[in-house]
């Protein structure tokens, strides 16, 4: 038996009202979802602009030769340096090398505290030792936090003491807004810097310890059974890049200090606050491209490389500097001509006496150029010396050491270095029989 139920007028009205409310609720949810999507799209667009790339975004580009500021955005805004801290750690290590406190072959011990550092790290066990040169390469390529502490403890006794030394050195070279709390760049609220200060650090490092700067161009470093690549992607992807360092922690975003040399014109750039490593790299390239374009409009310096014969000798210097301005080109003579002969030779135990080193490079031609430049800078002091580019394997590749040999003793070599440093040429005295 079937029962049929008929709804009265009031019941029918109630049903219609419920249906109407349901439709309005559904429509409202659709509108809300649509608005939410629109807001997400707008936010994505807004926060991909440089100003909103991160609250920490800041950048600066300078001409390293003149000091002219070519671009700056919030260059004095305080940010976390992250692993850019290791540039100062390396500066302190280069200072120790230069003063004779350590040598490249000095072995430094890994403590339990160093071993316990958070990644990125090399992973050495407590009690193991690492040479100064391998430590340099581990900091430059792997950005190893454990090795940063090894360096700090070896030079400062404790990392806290070393951080105080780092801050004191920062003030000495004009980094007014930088404070270091550790040697690695791992998160610490009190560890702060600015883009302008990082520019100062990069410039000071090249000026004061240019003979060690070549380490920053190392693209691969082998230690034990592993090989580590350099995090600075611009070395392989942006023409003219020869250093220096990347950094990242959550609070800072992706950071980069880069040094680029094109046709004799060197620019140094700093970017803080990239959303990703790629966006940081792209932003740096964009800033450097624009800076070189602006310089080209004003006049581009072109400095040809010295001519080199097939046997590796540098021919008499006749390099000229051309300054191109619009359609005019004025020739500028190089001061003084020196016939400098550069010999490429392997180190041998028979090689003795004191000399000076004005650089060490992974590229033979750059080493030859460094010798030539030094000889031009101080012809009276170096007129009786013999220029040599000495080839040596350091375990991670071939290194060409740019040296001038033939000094009467250590004091004479140190005096020559003092004369070169007055002319802003990096120099260290060396015993010609020392392979380190």
Determine contact, residues 18/236, Cβ cutoff 8 Å: no
86 given a catalytic annotation: yes
Q: Which two tokens stand for residue 433?
A: 């029989």
DSSP string, 348-398: -TT--SEEEEEEEESSHHHHHHHHHHHHHH-HHHHTT-EEEEEEEE-SSSE
Tokens of 309: 């014969």
Single out the catalytic residue among 111, 143, 259, 396.
Answer: 143
Does residue 10 have an active-site annotation?
no
Asked if 163 and 134 touch (Cβ cutoff 8 Å), the reply is no
Whether the CA torsion 52, 53, 54, 59 is positive or negative: it is negative
Nearest to 224 by CA among 142, 117, 112, 151: 142
**What residues form the annotated binding site for substrate?**
245
Residue found under tokens 């003149």: 66
| Three-class SS of 45-76 | HHCCCHHHCCCCCEEEEEECCCCCEEEEECCC
**Which residues are annotated as catalytic?**
83, 86, 143
């Amino acid at each position: 038996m079937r029962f049929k139920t008929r709804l009265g007028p009031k019941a029918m009205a109630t049903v219609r009202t419920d249906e109407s409310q349901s439709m309005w609720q559904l429509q409202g949810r659709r509108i809300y979802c649509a608005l939410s999507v629109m807001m997400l799209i707008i936010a994505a667009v807004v926060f991909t602009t440089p100003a909103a790339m991160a609250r920490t975004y800041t950048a600066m580009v300078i001409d390293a030769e003149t000091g002219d500021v070519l671009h700056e955005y919030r260059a004095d805004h305080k940010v976390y340096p992250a692993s850019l801290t290791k540039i100062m750690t390396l500066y302190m290590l280069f200072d120790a090398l230069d003063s004779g406190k350590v040598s490249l072959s000095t072995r430094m011990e890994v403590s339990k505290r160093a071993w316990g550092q958070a990644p990125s790290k090399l992973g050495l066990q407590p009690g193991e030792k690492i040479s100064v040169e391998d430590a340099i390469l581990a900091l430059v390529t792997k950005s190893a936090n454990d090795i940063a502490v090894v360096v700090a403890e070896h030079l400062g006794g404790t990392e806290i003491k070393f951080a105080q030394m780092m801050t004191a050195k920062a003030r000495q070279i004009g980094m007014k807004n930088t404070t270091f709390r550790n040697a690695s760049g791992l998160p610490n609220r009190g560890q702060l810097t600015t883009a302008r200060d990082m520019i100062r650090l990069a410039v000071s490092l090249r000026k004061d310890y240019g003979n060690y700067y070549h380490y920053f161009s190392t693209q691969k470093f082998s230690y034990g059974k592993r090989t580590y690549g350099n995090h600075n992607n611009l070395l392989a992807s942006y023409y003219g890049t020869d250093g220096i360092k990347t950094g990242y922690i959550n609070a800072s975003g992706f950071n980069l200090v880069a040094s680029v040399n094109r046709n004799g014109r060197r620019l140094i750039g700093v970017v803080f606050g990239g959303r990703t490593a790629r966006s940081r790299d792209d932003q740096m390239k964009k800033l450097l491209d624009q800076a070189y374009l602006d310089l080209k409009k004003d006049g581009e310096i072109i400095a040809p490389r010295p001519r080199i014969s097939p046997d590796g000798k540098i021919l008499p210097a006749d390099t000229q500097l051309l300054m191109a301005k619009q359609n005019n080109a004025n020739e500028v003579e190089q001061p003084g001509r020196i016939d400098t002969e550069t010999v490429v030779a392997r180190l041998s135990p028979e090689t003795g006496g004191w000399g000076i080193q004005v650089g060490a490079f992974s590229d033979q031609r750059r080493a030859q150029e460094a010798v030539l430049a030094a000889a031009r800078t101080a012809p009276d002091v170096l007129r009786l010396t013999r220029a040599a580019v000495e080839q040596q394997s350091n375990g991670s590749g071939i290194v060409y050491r740019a040296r001038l040999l033939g000094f009467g003793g250590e004091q004479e070599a140190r005096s020559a270095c003092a004369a070169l440093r007055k002319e802003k040429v990096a120099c260290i005295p060396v015993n010609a029989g020392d392979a380190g």
